[in-house]
Amino acid sequence: MDSTRDRILRAAFEEFSINGFQGGSLNHVVEKSGTTKGALFHYFKSKAELGYAIVEEVIRPMGKRRWIDPLNESSDPLEAIKETFHHNIQEAVAETEMLARGCPLNSLAQEMSPLDEEFRRHIERSYEVQRQALADALERAKKQGQIRKSIVPKEVAALIVACQMGIWGSAKNSQSAELMTQAGEALSKYLDTLKS
């Protein structure tokens, strides 16, 4: 990726994570990236186009590293899902700023999906990728006899992603590490009930 473009994307991600997409300032993005408005508009025709690129090129790869790669690397997908939730919750709890900002994808979904159909489509694609990765992992666990045969992986995957967004959204709103931890533990207990 071009280094100027990359700096703009990273600065914009940081700015929108702190101030929301609508409240985020392109002047701050230019300042934080050490570029110019001309450079910003050379790479992105509009603020919206910059937002779409953040979803595709920053948030989705981040989600892949944090949530999907551990599933693909595990011989026990159900345990990998539980461990990934535990790890990501502990990380959020340890970093007050991360807890305060919540999930960047969820925050954008709540703010922009009702206002911009193109944003909604980019965000939904990220959710689809995660649901499919979870469904594939759960299907693998089912074939390996690790979860019950009656489990429908696509349904459970949809529930897990909804839980993930709810956990991060409610923790952001409540600013409660305790609530986030409790919700994570409850999800882990539910996942245990899927075992064969």
Output the domain CATH number for residue 76: 1.10.357.10
pLDDT on residue 98:
76
Same domain flag for 15 and 88:
no
The whole model's pTM is what?
A: 0.90
Would you state the torsion angle of the CA atoms of residues 171, 13, 87, 71, taken in this order, to the nearest 10 degrees?
Answer: 120
User: What is the per-residue pLDDT across 13-50, written as a single tens digit (0 to 9) for each?
Assistant: 999 999 999 999 999 999 999 999 999 999 999 999 99
Same domain flag for 14 and 111:
no
- Name the domain count of the chain: 2
Q: Which of 192, 96, 123, 178 is nearest to 170 (CA)?
A: 178
Same domain flag for 52 and 39:
no
For 100, 105, 188, the CA distances from 123, given in Å and listed in that order, are 21, 7, 26
Same domain flag for 63 and 40:
no
**Residue span of the structural domain in which 182 resides:** 48-192
pLDDT on residue 95:
81
Helix axes 177-192, 153-174, angle to 10 degrees: 170
Same domain flag for 104 and 29:
no
H-helix segments, the chain? 3-19, 26-33, 37-43, 47-54, 60-63, 69-72, 77-94, 96-101, 104-112, 117-143, 153-174, 177-192
